[in-house]
Structure 1
């Protein structure tokens, strides 16, 4: 659980600054990035399946 919490906090802080600096246009990049990082963290913490490259 700690890796997911740290990833969430760091992502929230860094990506919020990115969105503010780009005057809201960064949200187009930030939302998919948050979804991918959350899914990867979830798979790493809660499953034993290896991540496939495909």
Structure 2
């Protein structure tokens, strides 16, 4: 199946770093400069920003 996908025009194989950055369409809620969550909720890709502990 991978060979069939790779034969499509314009398709390139992702490297390991690119694969890890894929987040399934969820919002990136961590500010890369501070490492802190800028938003919270189920729409966030990062687990620490999804969980709200009271």
Q: TM-score range by the shorter chain?
A: under 0.3
Which has more radius of gyration? 2
Give the structure with the larger helix fraction: 1
> RCO (CA 8 Å, sep 6+): is it higher in 1 or 2?
1
User: Could you state the TM-score of these two structures normalised by the residue count of structure 1?
Assistant: 0.22
